[in-house]
Structure 1
Amino acid sequence: MTRATTSVRGLWSRLGTTGPVYLALVLLLAASAVYVATRGGNLFTTANTVDLFTRSSLLGFLAIGQTLVILCRSLDLSVGYVAALSTVVAATTMAGDPSRILLGVGAALGLAALIGLANGLVVTRLRVNPFITTLGMGLIIKGYLDTNFQGPAGAIPAAFQTFGYTRIGVLPVSTLVMLGLAAAAVLFLHRTRTGYHMYAVGGDAEVARLSGVRAGIPTVTAHVLCSVTAGVAGLLLAARFGTGSATVYGNGYELEAIAAVVLGGTYLLGGRGGVAGTIAGVFILATLDTVFNVLGVDPFVKDVMRGVIVIAAVAVYARGRHSRAAVRVRFPSGGAPPPPAPDPGPRPEPEPLGGRR
């Protein structure tokens, strides 16, 4: 093996799952552009590029928070319902008054944080499975919305609607905010003690506990931040709709967010992955949606293709992880197995007790 090959493999291993997913994104963009061109279109027109970035911003907010939760070996199925509730809270609080924008934003994010805190405490203190906990919380929110809001509620001031429609060049402001939030999440995971503890708890909660880590704190923090990012997604939806919409929970945002996290290389069993890969996963899904819309693909076929891609990505990551684990366990050096020890020959018979007679 040459030194150059060794260096490339070393760099690739240090990139972990982030490098392959960005390579997949570049290849997908290139292949999609060629395929659309053969159909007489152009994938990178201004309208298509703006559409791609617009799609990525909403999903990105949800996926960033979902990444933190999954890293702790947990899950949050209530983010779509939290986003729907946040649109209603923000719109009814603002009531079309520009002077109440900060109050509406604070109310929506504050309520989202309380929901995340409740999720985290039920998971860590009551030991309820996170799937059941967050699904139950989502159903509670759904029942409240369906009972009290049969249609649009409240009004968003025009000044705040710019958050949903203003762009700089081809980049929407919402996408810039999403990328800024992603950068903050990356720094949080890699520069703070709580971020390190999230990886530790996701890797092995018992080992983390024996190392002095209070496993409940990172998990509760992750759930709070996940709900807050869902609240930000709700604010974006409210800005785009101009009012509160209690029925947006039916769009399956929570499943799309999990799919983006998985595509980004974060393991569902926790402990490995990160927000940087998640952003690439978000853009992969946004690219697929844009291409399908340009080509006029049937929505059912679109869902099938997305499902196949997610399953394939999980299979590839799982296979790579298991093969690396097998090599580490059997041969720590990564090389060939050690040769068998030489046969020492027949052993002398032991003398009887009391010596020779």
Structure 2
Amino acid sequence: MTRVATASRTATRSLGSRLGTTGLVYLALVGVLLVSSVFVAVQGGNLFTAANTVDLFTRSSLLGFLAIGMTLVILCRSLDLSVGYVAALSTVIAGTTMAGDPSRIVLGVTVTLGAAALIGLANGLVVTKLRVNPFIATLGTGLIIKGYLDTQFQGPTGSIPAQFQMFGLSRIGVLPVSTLVMLVLAVLAVLYLRRTRMGFHMYAVGGDAEVARLSGVRPELPVITAHVLCSVMAGMAGLLLASRFGTGNTLVYNNGYELEAIAAVVLGGTYLLGGRGGVAGTVAGVFILATLDTVFNTLGVDPFVKDVLRGTIVIAAVAIYARGQLSRTAVRVRFPSGGTPPASSGPGDPPEPPPLPPAPEPLVRGGKR
């Protein structure tokens, strides 16, 4: 029995090493889809009807915009708890700027994304220049936005032209246009992280900011860039919400989008302490959460039970990733018990340090030893 268990663990580790964290997340997504479809079928339903598929993709688009941006800041060992408030503010800016006029759509999109970028710039500067913990800095920014929205606006605000509402309502077959845009931005984010110098710098700063600095990287710039891009993606989410509502909605921040985005990022295999992960895994995490929501709504599961199940799944995923990380970083025993040190290091071992020279004898009075 012990040999069987050992062989099973070895096979699991071997599969994990071949697929990597991102591959395991997509494998988990396939498993969730299969198990969910069987469970819904047992209850007399069909998970893959056109309506359910559209609902799944529609849910994934909004969360995807927020999670892509959140991935960038978490990779830099930072955090952004203001994205839900930025999305709410973006709906208001879009609604009031467009004012129902189709000729002002470009202006409304530009102003909305520009305002979101400025908020991200402020977050990045507070975190890097004032050395404020990102949790506190972005939470404070979110509360400032919340106070402004609560005091200046009551109820729906502005109007979105019908032409722009197609962004949130139209689809190609069962694939909403918003989901297609989200996937295109996800691909661009993957290329940005893997092919550009700033993307490499984000990983370096998230891994170890001091080592990155000694290597010639300015640690502040990647963090600021990540916060700006994160807020821009929150602005995109706000534009999507505005197109669906047809107006600005100040109460969007009550939906807890920032926590869902963090859950999707963590579920996608991105290390919360930065330096490991990526957008590709985050997209799979988004679809896992969207699939669960679709299943829960199809079966009429109580909302409180939904939160419990989603929280349990996120905790289990983090625990699995943590165990895998510990197994990869475990210190290997160089000299087994009862054995003798090897004559030379293997090809994968660091070279042995040269022996220290003998200490000189102390001098005595008169210059004699």
Pairwise same-fold verdict (TM > 0.5) = yes
- Please give the alpha-carbon distance, in whole angstroms, between the structure 1 residues aligned to 2:292 and 2:279: 20
* Matching residue of 2:340: 341
- Please give the alpha-carbon distance, in whole angstroms, between the structure 2 residues aligned to 1:9 and 1:303: 31
Q: What displacement does 1:339 show? A: 6.3
Percent identity between matched residues is 80
- Look up the equivalent residue of 1:341 and give its one-letter code: T
- Please give the alpha-carbon distance, in whole angstroms, between the structure 2 residues aligned to 1:59 and 1:69: 16
| Alignment equivalent of 1:180, drawn from 181, 184, 205 | 184
The answer as to 2:59 corresponding to 1:55 is: yes
* Matching residue of 1:95: 99
- Look up the equivalent residue of 1:250 and give its one-letter code: N
Counterpart mapping for 1:327-338 below 5 A: 329-331=331-333, 337=336
- Look up the equivalent residue of 1:134 and give its one-letter code: T
- Please give the alpha-carbon distance, in whole angstroms, between the structure 2 residues aligned to 1:181 and 1:238: 19
The answer as to 2:195 corresponding to 1:191 is: yes
Q: How many residues align?
A: 333
Change in 2 beyond 3 A, CA 1:11/1:320: closer
| Alignment equivalent of 1:215, drawn from 190, 212, 219 | 219
* Matching residue of 1:28: 32
Q: What displacement does 1:90 show? A: 0.5
| Alignment equivalent of 1:142, drawn from 141, 146, 155 | 146
Q: What displacement does 1:331 show? A: 4.7
Q: What displacement does 1:7 show? A: 11
Counterpart mapping for 1:96-111 below 5 A: 96-111=100-115
Q: What displacement does 1:337 show? A: 4.4
- Please give the alpha-carbon distance, in whole angstroms, between the structure 2 residues aligned to 1:218 and 1:16: 25
- Look up the equivalent residue of 2:39 and give its one-letter code: Y
Counterpart mapping for 1:132-171 below 5 A: 132-171=136-175
Counterpart mapping for 1:239-278 below 5 A: 239-278=243-282
The answer as to 2:73 corresponding to 1:69 is: yes
The answer as to 2:320 corresponding to 1:321 is: no
Change in 2 beyond 3 A, CA 1:8/1:307: closer
The answer as to 2:229 corresponding to 1:225 is: yes
- Please give the alpha-carbon distance, in whole angstroms, between the structure 1 residues aligned to 2:164 and 2:321: 41
For residues 239-274 of structure 1, the C-alpha deviation after alignment (integer angstroms, 9 at most, x for no partner) is 000000011000000000000000000010000000
- Please give the alpha-carbon distance, in whole angstroms, between the structure 2 residues aligned to 1:29 and 1:8: 21
Q: What displacement does 1:15 show? A: 3.7
Name the TM-score, length of structure 1 as normaliser. Answer: 0.90
Q: What displacement does 1:319 show? A: 1.0
* Matching residue of 2:49: 45
- Look up the equivalent residue of 1:242 and give its one-letter code: G
For residues 214-256 of structure 1, the C-alpha deviation after alignment (integer angstroms, 9 at most, x for no partner) is 0000000000000000000000000000000011000000000
- Look up the equivalent residue of 1:330 and give its one-letter code: R
- Please give the alpha-carbon distance, in whole angstroms, between the structure 2 residues aligned to 1:94 and 1:338: 74
Q: What displacement does 1:324 show? A: 1.1
* Matching residue of 1:349: none
Q: What displacement does 1:113 show? A: 0.1
The answer as to 2:242 corresponding to 1:238 is: yes
- Please give the alpha-carbon distance, in whole angstroms, between the structure 2 residues aligned to 1:300 and 1:12: 33
The answer as to 2:9 corresponding to 1:16 is: no
- Look up the equivalent residue of 1:19 and give its one-letter code: G
For residues 51-85 of structure 1, the C-alpha deviation after alignment (integer angstroms, 9 at most, x for no partner) is 00000000000000000000000000000000000
- Please give the alpha-carbon distance, in whole angstroms, between the structure 2 residues aligned to 1:37 and 1:82: 40
* Matching residue of 2:363: none
* Matching residue of 2:344: none
CA RMSD of aligned residues (A): 1.8
- Please give the alpha-carbon distance, in whole angstroms, between the structure 2 residues aligned to 1:100 and 1:69: 32
- Please give the alpha-carbon distance, in whole angstroms, between the structure 1 residues aligned to 2:173 and 2:324: 40
The answer as to 2:318 corresponding to 1:307 is: no
- Please give the alpha-carbon distance, in whole angstroms, between the structure 2 residues aligned to 1:46 and 1:209: 52
The answer as to 2:123 corresponding to 1:119 is: yes
- Please give the alpha-carbon distance, in whole angstroms, between the structure 1 residues aligned to 2:204 and 2:333: 25
Give the secondary-structure state (helix, strand or coil) at the position aligned to 2:250.
coil
- Look up the equivalent residue of 2:132 and give its one-letter code: V
- Look up the equivalent residue of 1:188 and give its one-letter code: Y
- Please give the alpha-carbon distance, in whole angstroms, between the structure 2 residues aligned to 1:141 and 1:207: 36
